[in-house]
Amino acid sequence: MASTLALRRLALNASRASRTSRTFHSSSRAFIKVGDKIPNLDVLVESSPGNKVNLGEAITGKALIIGVPAAFSPSCSNSHIPGFINHKKLKSAGDIFVVAVNDPFVTKAWGESLDPAGSSGIRFLGDPTAKFTEALDLAFDGTAIFGGPRSKRYVLEIEDGKVKAVHVEPDNTGLNVSTAEKVLG
């Protein structure tokens, strides 16, 4: 009996010691916010794996970065991106980038299906490892629906490499605060 009690104390003390060595944060990480710079990462790809795009370097003036949960998903394909493609103020918004946690072949095919002539000037980028999306702290666990991490639906308004405005859907995938009408007016 005494040896059992001693083992329990030893196990309890070891458990307490391991807990005190862990760090605890009472607040979650913050999304990218107004005034932040765009991450300087060579992880986005356009049309093929070898065509890397670094938005931290590519954006020099006005731009929009539109994040979507998945290429070819109903809301993304039927409403969200077509809303930007067809908006009368699109050209005055600067460079437009659509980022999806997909491979570059999928985003290329998706872009060609939405804008066959490429007349909108929108560039469709894949974030196959979700590294860019994670750097913005705009990833969510989409395993149940999409098979892995995905991007929240968002639009970042950029000026001179810094975030001017942030429009993130509160439920990750809805379509309300990030519509073309709300962003472009």
Q: Which tens digit of pLDDT belongs to each residue from 26-74?
A: 334 568 999 999 999 999 999 999 999 999 999 999 999 999 999 999 9
**Considering its fold, how many domains does the chain have in total?**
1
Q: Is 136 helix (H, G, I), strand (E, B) or coil?
A: coil
CATH number for the domain spanning 174: value is 3.40.30.10
Using alpha carbons, select from 165, 100, 172, 106 the residue that is nearest to residue 132: 100
Query: pLDDT for 121-176, tens place per residue?
Result: 999 999 999 999 999 999 999 888 888 899 999 999 999 989 999 999 999 999 99
- Asked, for residue 171, whether it belongs to a domain, the answer is yes
CB 140: neighbour CB atoms within 10 A? Answer: 16
- Asked, for residue 168, whether it belongs to a domain, the answer is yes
- Asked, for residue 137, whether it belongs to a domain, the answer is yes
Helices (runs of H) and strands (runs of E) counted in the chain: 8, 9
CA distance 29 to 10: 36
- Asked, for residue 9, whether it belongs to a domain, the answer is no
CA distance 166 to 26: 24
pTM for the predicted model, two decimal places: 0.83
Question: With contact defined as beta carbons under 8 Å apart, do 124 and 42 qualify?
Answer: no
- Asked, for residue 21, whether it belongs to a domain, the answer is no
State the catalytic residues: 76
What DSSP state is assigned to residue 43? -
Note down the domain range covering 164: 38-184
CA distance 17 to 125: 46
